[in-house]
Amino acid sequence: MTNRPANLPTHLQHHIGGKAVDSIGGETFEVIDPVTNEPYATAAAGQQADVDAAVAAATLAFEEGPWPRMKARERARILMRIADVVASRDAELAQYESFDSGLPITQAKGQAQRAAENFRFFADLIVAQRDDAYKVPGQQLNYVNRKPKGVAGLITPWNTPFMLESWKLAPALASGCTVVLKPAEFTPLSASLWAGIFAEAGLPDGVFNLVHGIGEDAGDALVKHPDVPLISFTGESSTGQLIFRNCAEHLKAMSMELGGKSPAVVFADADLDAAIDSTLFGVFSLNGERCTAGSRILVERAVYDEFVERYAERAKRIVVGDPSDPRTEVGALVHPEHYDKVMSYVEIGRGEGRLVAGGGRPEGLDTGNYVAPTVFADVPPTARIFQEEIFGPVVGITPFDSDEEALTLANDTRYGLAAYVWTNDLTRAHTFAQSIEAGMVWLNSHNVRDLRSPFGGVKASGLGHEGGYRSLDFYSDQQAVHITLGDVHTARFGAH
C-alpha cells in the first residue's frame, strides 16, 4: 500500500482570477493513484466556459494589471520569492509528485529543486537581458523594443509535471505575460499547489490561472481561444499535430516539444562501464516516461555481446517497487491506460527482438502499474519497438558494423529530439554528433542540461526551441523602432 501524503486534498479546483472555483457546469473527473489505481480525489473538469473565464481573467490582468508594466527587477524579485517557496516545500512537493505520478520519491525530490532553479534562472535572465541597437552614423538609429505577447496558453504533460510546468511558467511570467495553465489530467495534484505558491510570493491576482480538465475539452478550448496568442505544448507528436492545425485559424505562435525515440550510440572505443551506467539511467530513470530517453541503444559489433550481457544483468537487478520507498529505482507507471500501452509494446517486442531482461509484471507486485525493466536485443530497424515511442521502461539494442551504418540507424526514425554518443575519438565524436538528426546531442553523458542552451527537437519531435533567451523570445514580441537622425532621400511622388 502506498504512503498517502499528509493533507492530501479530496477535490481539486480551478484557479481563476485569484480564486479557487469549480467548473461552471459542475463537471468533475476522478483522479487515481498509480499504485492502487483507486480514485483518491475528484477534480473540476474544465469546459469551454471555464477556459473563457480564465482567459478573461488573464486578459484583464494583462491589459490593466501591473505585471506587464513592472520593471524587470521588480518581476525578478517575485520570481526569486517563488523559487524560495518552491525550494522550501521540496519534501511536500516530492511526496505529492511521487504519489500522483508514480515517480520514485528520490527522483521526485530532484524535480522540485529543478523547478525552483528554473525560476531563479529566468529572474536573473530578465535583469541581465539587453536588446539590439543599430546605428547608421548621422542618418539613422534602430533599436528593438521588446514587449510581452499577452495571454500564454500552457499545456503540460504528466511526466515530471511540476518541473515541466515550471519550465513554461517561469519564462512566460518573466517576460510579463499572463498565463492559463492546463495540466495533464492524469497528474493534476502538484499543479494545484502553484496558486498558493504564487500568492505567497506576491504574484498579482489574474496573472496565473489554472484550468484542470480533459485535453479534448479544456485543452482544445484553450488552443482555439481567439484571445490566446501563443501556445506552448509538451506532449506526444500526434497531439502536437492536432494543436498545430487548431492554431492555424488564429495564426498563433507555437512552441512544441514532442515525442522522441532517441538513439544512444556506443562505439567500441567507449568507456563501457560509463556507457552502461548512463544508458541504464537514461532509459529507466523517471520510469522510462521521459521524452529524451535513450530508448534505442546502438552498439558496435566488437563490444555488442559483452554490452548486451552486462546491460541485461544490470537491468534485472533494478529495484522496482513502491514509489514512496527510497530504495525504489523504478516505480509505477502513471495510469492503467498507459500501463496497457507499454505492455502491448512488450508483447510486440517478443516477436521483433530477443528478450534478455524483464518482459512483464515484476514478482510480488500484483496490483498497480508496474512493469519490470525490459530489454530486447537484436532489434531490427524495421521493428515497431525501434520506430515507435513506447514511453516506458523498455529498451531495444541493435548492433552496427561501421560509422556509416550507425548514423543511418540513428537517423532512421521520424523523431529527432535527443541523441547520445559514446566514443573516446574526439574527431568522430564531433563529426558524428553534427550529422545526427536531433535537436540535442550529448557526448559521453546522459541528459545533463545547462539552462542557457536551446531545448527542442527536429522532425516529428518538435517545433521551435526553448531555453535561455530563446524562451524569452517566444513569449515576447520584438518591435523594431527606426529613428531618423539626418536628411532622408525620398522620391517626391506627385511633385512634378
Residues acting as catalytic residues: 257
Take residue 262 and report the three cell numbers written for it. 532517441
CB 80 within 8 A of CB 116: no
401: phi then psi, degrees, rounded to nearest 5: -115, -10
Task: Write out the three cell numbers for 333.
Answer: 507507471
Helix/strand/coil for 212: coil
Q: What share of the chain is helix, strand, coil (3-state, %, to 5)?
A: 40, 20, 40
Cβ-Cβ contacts under 8 Å for 398 (sequence gap 6 or more): 296, 297, 298, 299, 378, 379, 380, 381, 386, 409
> Shortest CA distance to 182 belongs to which of 161, 200, 163?
161
Which residue type, as a one-letter code, is found at position 90?
A: D
Look at strands 394-400 and 418-422 and give their pairing.
Answer: unpaired
Residues with Cβ within 8 Å of 490's Cβ and at least 6 positions away in sequence, in order, are none
Strands 178-182 and 208-210: parallel
How many angstroms separate the CA atoms of 35 and 103, rounded? 11
Amino acid at 418: A
Helices and strands: H and E segment counts in the chain: 15, 21
What is the number of other CB atoms lying within 10 angstroms of the CB of residue 479?
11
Q: For residue 387, give the 3-state DSSP assignment.
A: helix
List of long-range contacts for 439-445, beta carbons under 8 Å, 24+ apart: 439/465, 440/292, 442/418, 444/270, 444/271, 444/274, 445/278, 445/420
Q: Are 69 and 31 in contact (CB under 8 A)?
A: no
